[in-house]
A and B are shown apart, each in its own frame.
Chain A
Amino acid sequence: MIRHFMHTYLPFASNELKRNLAYKGAFYLFIVCDLMEVFISYYLWMAIYQSSGKGTLGGLSKNEMVVYVIMVFITSTIIMQSISRTVSRDVVKGNIAMTLIKPVDYRISLISGQVGNLIYHFIVPSLFVWIFLEVYKVTVLGEPLVSPGRAALYLISICLSFLIYVLFDFCFGMVAFFTTYIFGLSMAKEVLLSFLTGRLIPISFFPEAFRKVFEYLPFESMVYSPVMIYLGKYSVRETLFVIGRQAAWVIILYLLGSFIWKKVTNRLIVLGG
């Protein structure tokens, strides 16, 4: 059963990997783009801590903020493997009907492809940046290495983050059914995500009322939660709760995606598009 599953979907992952290696030039340049964001946040936060005269802001010390900024970069680089562009293109061009006659699950094949990407991004650049971060932590910041247990919990957590992200992105891609201007919509999505996942600023900086609302949204579980696990900000019980909540989001978004998919394909069959 599992062997059959792997046999069917593994080629999607390896194809995506090959495609990525072929466009290595672009790939490295996009890493540079993302690293630039890291630089900006790093310098900005350093200036902010300096100007504040306080040791901690939003519950994070200056050193923790350095780790936060870099771990947010690593986490989002690994998990944010977008499938909405493919989905929306297939919807707009009418390829969806074609996928119905293939003997593979459309959504799972897309996600499998992104597993290939995930592995690639995990190694380049994330693993290198991660090693750099730990070395920097010990030598410059004078902080201890991350404990293996915590690192393991982080890795489990980002696997769930990845699933939350792609399942959400699948639903988002389906929106293409209602508009053709995906670029503008993607832009809005990016902004919302950067805000609500904690990429731009730690969630703890938001006023209490906002944070209450965010707890009922899946975005915090994508980036903020695993990074907080990594930083050791949660007790064992809290950690288990956070990971459990991530798992719950995976299930909810999976079901939501199936529901939308059914609606859209039913309409396609009726309309014959």
Chain B
Amino acid sequence: MIEVKSISKEFISPKKYPGLKGAVKGLFSTEKVKKLAVDDISFSIADGEIVGYIGSNGAGKSTTIKMMTGILRPTRGECLIDGINPATDRMANAARIGVVFGQRTQLWWDLPLSESYTILKEIYNVSDEDYKKQLAFLNETLGLEEFFDKTVRTLSLGQRMRADLGAALIHNPKVLYLDEPTIGLDLVVKDKIREAIHEINQKYKTTVILTTHDIEDIEKLCSRIIVIDKGRKIYDGTLADLKETYGTTRKISIKTEDFPGIGKVRAALSSSLNNGNKEPVGDNELELNFNPDESRLEISFDKNHVEVSDVISSLIRIITVKDIKIQETELASIVKDIYNHNLGANGPEGGGR
């Protein structure tokens, strides 16, 4: 469905200097700054996939989406959306896609929502019959009738987002691009939007590409994610694989009564774990914390180096365990690490494909 073939986008802007002196200097300067916003990115997406496209602010997410939707033309490379190159055949591409930019509405601000929909029906040349059917479906999934006759300007953010999503779907597009579709919404509306996206994907096999900072969007919707950083693709694969590759930290949390002190536990634990182990576990591979208020001991470690079962069986012998909890790394913290460039540089490229 979507073929992105090593696209790059370069922006050129005049150099700016700070301060009043700088402003005067700028008068005479013609220096230019080049910025590579997207650097040689390739991927392909199959029919009916929901793909999360994530990365920190300024990583090049929006630039990529804009190239795929035909707003920007790639400096190098090309993309084919259902066989159409948006850079050369903008209108044909525009007729088959739906786009929602969370920060911006494509509705007519001063008109009732119903009128915006009527105009879009004309623009996309939707037949009366199809329009009726689609509107009924959108009403059902997005609950549009609550505010269908209200002026767009007067809609709440949540209503407006639902209205915008509906507007992007009137012509039943093959591909739906969502740029931060849940930004600034409350939890109930977020859920509703996610459900709607899911339903549309199920019903029409619509391919969905969404950028987001909200981890829950990804966890609830995306079977696959692509992570980019500084314009380059650094991960492309399933969510499970991402967790498997990056999320190897485990945290064991134990409620205990007679706590002998961190030092003692650490010493006992190390000797127990290293007993008969060929690769000894270093002190810095185990992170111990004790919270005296809850009398709770927390131990973090990499599960690829230390077996979870070993740690537990050792601990049972050292302290009295009243309650035990094992936590996986949350996706949120994996993503946070990627954003902070802790993982990106040395992480393996392309888990899945």
Q: Is chain B in direct contact with chain A in the complex (CB below 8 A)?
A: yes
Residues of B within 8 A of A21 (CB): 20, 23-24, 26-27
Residues of A within 8 A of B27 (CB): 21, 24
* Contacting residue for B26 out of A14, A17, A22, CB 8 A: A22
Residues of A within 8 A of B23 (CB): 18, 21-22
B28's nearest neighbour on chain A, judged by CB, is A24
Task: Say how far A28's CB is from chain B's closest CB, in angstroms.
Answer: 10
B19's nearest neighbour on chain A, judged by CB, is A18
Q: Once the chains are docked, how many angstroms separate the CA of A24 from the CA of B17?
A: 14
Q: Once the chains are docked, how many angstroms separate the CA of A14 from the CA of B20?
A: 8
Residues of B within 8 A of A22 (CB): 23, 26
B1-28 residues at the A interface, CB under 8 angstroms: 19-20, 23-24, 26-27
Task: Say how far A16's CB is from chain B's closest CB, in angstroms.
Answer: 11
Residues of B within 8 A of A14 (CB): 20
Q: Once the chains are docked, how many angstroms separate the CA of A14 from the CA of B19?
A: 11
User: Residues of B within 8 Å of A, CB-based: how many?
Assistant: 6
Query: Majority SS of interface residues in chain B?
Result: helix
Q: Once the chains are docked, how many angstroms separate the CA of A18 from the CA of B16?
A: 13
Task: Say how far A76's CB is from chain B's closest CB, in angstroms.
Answer: 24
Residues of B within 8 A of A18 (CB): 19-20, 23
Q: Once the chains are docked, how many angstroms separate the CA of A17 from the CA of B20?
A: 8
Q: Once the chains are docked, how many angstroms separate the CA of A193 from the CA of B27?
A: 33
B24's nearest neighbour on chain A, judged by CB, is A21
Q: Once the chains are docked, how many angstroms separate the CA of A18 from the CA of B19?
A: 8
Task: Say how far B15's CB is from chain A's closest CB, in angstroms.
Answer: 13
A14's nearest neighbour on chain B, judged by CB, is B20
B25's nearest neighbour on chain A, judged by CB, is A21
**What are the interface flags for B53-69 relative to A under an 8 Å C-beta threshold, 1 for contact and 0 otherwise?**
00000000000000000
Q: Once the chains are docked, how many angstroms separate the CA of A14 from the CA of B21?
A: 12
**What are the interface flags for A1-42 relative to B under an 8 Å C-beta threshold, 1 for contact and 0 otherwise?**
000000000000010011001101000000000000000000
Q: Once the chains are docked, how many angstroms separate the CA of A21 from the CA of B20?
A: 8
Q: Once the chains are docked, how many angstroms separate the CA of A24 from the CA of B24?
A: 10
Task: Say how far A72's CB is from chain B's closest CB, in angstroms.
Answer: 28
Q: Once the chains are docked, how many angstroms separate the CA of A106 from the CA of B19?
A: 25
Residues of A within 8 A of B24 (CB): 21
Task: Say how far B320's CB is from chain A's closest CB, in angstroms.
Answer: 60
B27's nearest neighbour on chain A, judged by CB, is A24
A15's nearest neighbour on chain B, judged by CB, is B20
Q: Once the chains are docked, how many angstroms separate the CA of A18 from the CA of B22?
A: 9
Q: Once the chains are docked, how many angstroms separate the CA of A24 from the CA of B19?
A: 15
Q: Once the chains are docked, how many angstroms separate the CA of A22 from the CA of B27?
A: 8
Residues of B within 8 A of A24 (CB): 26-27
Task: Say how far B262's CB is from chain A's closest CB, in angstroms.
Answer: 52
Q: Once the chains are docked, how many angstroms separate the CA of A262 from the CA of B19?
A: 37
Task: Say how far A12's CB is from chain B's closest CB, in angstroms.
Answer: 14
Q: Once the chains are docked, how many angstroms separate the CA of A17 from the CA of B27?
A: 13
Task: Say how far B87's CB is from chain A's closest CB, in angstroms.
Answer: 30
Q: Once the chains are docked, how many angstroms separate the CA of A21 from the CA of B19?
A: 11
**What are the interface flags for A83-98 relative to B under an 8 Å C-beta threshold, 1 for contact and 0 otherwise?**
0000000000000000
Interface residues of chain A, those whose CB is within 8 Å of chain B, are: 14, 17-18, 21-22, 24
Interface residues of chain B, those whose CB is within 8 Å of chain A, are: 19-20, 23-24, 26-27
13 A-B pairs whose Cβ atoms sit less than 8 Å apart in the complex = A14-B20, A17-B20, A18-B19, A18-B20, A18-B23, A21-B23, A21-B24, A21-B26, A21-B27, A22-B23, A22-B26, A24-B26, A24-B27
3 interchain residue pairs of minimum CB distance: A21-B23, A18-B20, A18-B23
- 7 further A-B pairs in the complex, CB-CB below 8 A; given A21-B20, A22-B23, A24-B27: A14-B20, A18-B20, A18-B23, A21-B23, A21-B26, A21-B27, A24-B26
